[in-house]
Structure 1
């Protein structure tokens, strides 16, 4: 008695097809799982046995072997349980309809009901690429994959529903899913008093996806400026939406369907290196990957452990993170925009207009050393934010929606960049800058002189050019003029 069906497991963001082979022979009654299963998969045999019994299926008194192929791939997660149960049902003769070109995903409860699983979105996309015609999965994951087309989707609530298909071809289960209306964006910039230079810097960062560091006294508006980025950033493109949804599905955070808003992650400064970069015993993505194509906001940046700060060096340059442990190695995308906020000194009031800073020069120097040179060199815009004069709070508020205007300008700039070079300005290499940026000779010459005067590194030199290109895009200028470089340089040596 031999039966076979198909499913998948995730290794990082790679979905690997798994053939579930079930065979029953004479011998001591048992259910044996082979094929490098981890503890979660091995425990599934108890859940599957109870689920089958609670569905009225008699467990045969035979020696049953379940092989999960390929054998060299470690099997993790609970998504294989439905496929194993279907294999047993086929071996028992309870299911006799054709299961070829079909994949099964789902975690079983003891009563036979199905629980949602993590990573279903990338697995179903991979199944579609392999030519699979239909997929059975838990109803709880229905909204997550409802946008996938050209594939018959069968959401089910209970294992017993598969038994109803006996001796007949299953019909797709139509599920009407209403999309959640998009919430209106809050006009954060108009609510802020003053800080015009900071608002300008935030708009530039949003338009070109540049990293930015905000240094200022407590209450100066650093966190508010960072959170305004939610409303300023243009929406994700279709390709970016799929990339982000895959990552969130892997963490079980994509239950609302395709993610269209750019992620905004703000981990606490007590976050560990593993929490930020990813890892753990299942090699899960961390905060930098969950911020992929979006924003990673690190408030109180100087309070993060030095090892956590320095761990950001490579992801900021490469846009990816490779996690290697004894059990294997996985790669996750991490193309995020970093917004870091910090106080200028231990008491926080070095730049305050009224309050007197109580810190000694030595204390200030030691505090600012928490931001290492290599990290600062990777941040495109560095801005000192002054405190606000209380008299400005009685000024009339602007009647125009500043956030909407900034969002519109950033969206137009993004379209221009994608049409010109297929990527944001922040990610241009030196050769791509030469090819696409259209930088005037006088701009090159001015920046070369400034680089000698202010001792800019090669990385810093290129970052100034990238920011200058973004400023030119916001002004809808085809060429990068000297004035664009001057403004970009001001954010670098502020």
Structure 2
């Protein structure tokens, strides 16, 4: 009796690029079936495939389906459609123009190519016109879903609320400094709810990064990410990496907010890795075997106590920290990192009347309207938010009037600012002018911008 053994060789070129996960199971199985004559090979090249196969032939979901379709559509792929596990179809179909054919098993995929023999073809996944987030609360607007906490919950803190509005309007980073229980974390959590709505491209970029780690939920489409890693997070967790290079917290916060509570408690080297992406909006991760580049245009919001015990400067006299202890504590944040934070805001303790009374502030919807109007002015003028201005564009668009320029130069000399600090104050003043509906920043706008850089001063 003769036995015939079929041997197949699978080439995953390029060989020097590490392969991971089971996403190649489906294309490998189809290649073997085509090579052995069990299915037609001519039509396989018209499609893109990804999916993990169980021993029964069932297709299981994979990570990165949205990232794959987004990248291929952006690069002008000529593939007719994407054949993916059904569980990945909803996210992949969010990419405009992408034709996604969901399948439950290898058998269904094979039947699609044998449709002329009476088999059933795969049907295109029809995406919703706009994935709907969670139900809106009674005090929310369509641009402010209930999953965004409302500023109406914050009592007092008019100064910090104003700074939060400026940060949202211009995309500026911010540091909140104050004793425990003053509302720093509450304010930070409410920033996403007043940011301008995400554009289609921003939503796709953010969702694609979430997809790479398998955490994207179509119900959160166009909801700005809010990441708040614990202060024990490592540098790898923050920027990404590990043995299989994946995005870290700063990339998962892309087009959203990265909140670092108890900022001085983070390891120094963890904080220092933030310096490059704060300037460039991306992070390059290099390993011995490969290099990866991820976008990381996040809005940094940080919070800290003024001293180790948290009560420095309070009228209660509870603080027993010496000046040296306070200086060492605040010195855990390096000058170069602090220099990159646009707004440094003191958040004072509330008095009893403010704490026990009703909130007197505006809801998020009212603040978000002003933020959208200011952001629209910036986009119409320069095509970006003020935080991204640099070089000749910064000098041309952010130049204040003569009196304000004199005030700014005087503050720079008195406070010993670096050139970076000077330029960041210019950007903030330009954002304040946009909120005020002015073409040029005057003394009032420059003076307000100056006061937001005086909370901490390194010797």
1:105 counterpart residue number: 50
> Highest relative contact order (Cα 8 Å, sep 6+), 1 or 2?
2
1:291 counterpart residue number: 253
Q: C-alpha displacement at 1:258, in angstroms?
A: 7.5
Structure 2 residue corresponding to 1:131, chosen from 78, 94, 108: 78
2:87 counterpart residue number: 140
* Secondary structure class of the residue paired with 2:56: coil
1:51 counterpart residue number: none
Number of equivalences: 435
1:74 counterpart residue number: 18
Compared CA separation, residues 361 and 438, structure 1 to 2 (3 A): closer
Matched, 1:168 2:115: yes
Q: State whether residues 51 and 84 of structure 2, in contact with CA within 8 Å, keep that contact through their aligned partners in structure 1.
A: yes
2:141 counterpart residue number: none
Please list, as runs of the form range in 1=range in 2, the aligned pairs for 1:15-164 lying within 5 A after superposition: 61-96=5-40, 98-128=43-73, 129-164=76-111
Q: C-alpha displacement at 1:255, in angstroms?
A: 3.8
Greater displacement, 247-256 / 330-339: 247-256
Compared CA separation, residues 138 and 90, structure 1 to 2 (3 A): same
Q: State whether residues 133 and 221 of structure 2, in contact with CA within 8 Å, keep that contact through their aligned partners in structure 1.
A: no
Distance, in Å, in 2 between the alignment partners of 1:165 and 1:378 is 55
Structure 2 residue corresponding to 1:414, chosen from 372, 375, 389: 375
Matched, 1:458 2:437: no
Q: Deviations over 1:31-88 (max 9, x none)?
A: xxxxxxxxxxxxxxxxxxxxxxxxxxxxx72221111233443333321110000111
Distance, in Å, in 2 between the alignment partners of 1:478 and 1:216 is 34
* Secondary structure class of the residue paired with 2:8: strand
Greater displacement, 86-95 / 99-108: 86-95
Q: State whether residues 63 and 211 of structure 2, in contact with CA within 8 Å, keep that contact through their aligned partners in structure 1.
A: yes
Is there any run of 5+ residues in structure 1 with no aligned partner, and where?
1-28, 30-59
TM-score, normalized by length of structure 2?
0.90
2:132 counterpart residue number: 180
1:360 counterpart residue number: 322
Q: Which runs of 4+ in 1 moved over 6 A?
A: none
Q: State whether residues 293 and 335 of structure 1, in contact with CA within 8 Å, keep that contact through their aligned partners in structure 2.
A: yes
Distance, in Å, in 2 between the alignment partners of 1:177 and 1:391 is 51
Please list, as runs of the form range in 1=range in 2, the aligned pairs for 1:211-290 lying within 5 A after superposition: 211-256=173-218, 259-290=221-252
1:488 counterpart residue number: 449
* Secondary structure class of the residue paired with 1:67: coil
Compared CA separation, residues 105 and 230, structure 1 to 2 (3 A): same
Greater displacement, 409-418 / 219-228: 409-418
Q: Deviations over 1:371-395 (max 9, x none)?
A: 1111111110111111000122343
Q: C-alpha displacement at 1:262, in angstroms?
A: 1.5
Compared CA separation, residues 130 and 175, structure 1 to 2 (3 A): closer
Greater displacement, 473-482 / 186-195: 186-195
Greater displacement, 149-158 / 137-146: 149-158
2:153 counterpart residue number: 191
Distance, in Å, in 2 between the alignment partners of 1:61 and 1:403 is 69
> What CA RMSD, in Å, does the superposition of the two structures yield over aligned residues?
2.0
Please list, as runs of the form range in 1=range in 2, the aligned pairs for 1:316-465 lying within 5 A after superposition: 316-398=278-360, 401-437=362-398, 439-465=400-426
Compared CA separation, residues 143 and 351, structure 1 to 2 (3 A): farther
Compared CA separation, residues 232 and 445, structure 1 to 2 (3 A): same
Q: State whether residues 240 and 246 of structure 2, in contact with CA within 8 Å, keep that contact through their aligned partners in structure 1.
A: yes
Q: Deviations over 1:62-118 (max 9, x none)?
A: 221111233443333321110000111112322126212111110111211111111
Q: State whether residues 216 and 384 of structure 1, in contact with CA within 8 Å, keep that contact through their aligned partners in structure 2.
A: yes
Compared CA separation, residues 80 and 473, structure 1 to 2 (3 A): same
Compared CA separation, residues 196 and 287, structure 1 to 2 (3 A): same
1:41 counterpart residue number: none
Q: C-alpha displacement at 1:180, in angstroms?
A: 2.9
Q: C-alpha displacement at 1:340, in angstroms?
A: 0.7
Compared CA separation, residues 70 and 427, structure 1 to 2 (3 A): same
Distance, in Å, in 1 between the alignment partners of 2:399 and 2:335 is 30
* Secondary structure class of the residue paired with 1:63: coil
Distance, in Å, in 1 between the alignment partners of 2:151 and 2:114 is 63
Distance, in Å, in 1 between the alignment partners of 2:268 and 2:72 is 42
Q: C-alpha displacement at 1:448, in angstroms?
A: 1.2
Q: C-alpha displacement at 1:187, in angstroms?
A: 5.9
* Secondary structure class of the residue paired with 2:315: coil
Greater displacement, 198-207 / 147-156: 147-156
* Secondary structure class of the residue paired with 2:9: strand
Distance, in Å, in 2 between the alignment partners of 1:222 and 1:266 is 13
TM-score, normalized by length of structure 1?
0.84
Distance, in Å, in 2 between the alignment partners of 1:149 and 1:242 is 10
Q: State whether residues 101 and 125 of structure 2, in contact with CA within 8 Å, keep that contact through their aligned partners in structure 1.
A: no
Q: C-alpha displacement at 1:130, in angstroms?
A: 1.8
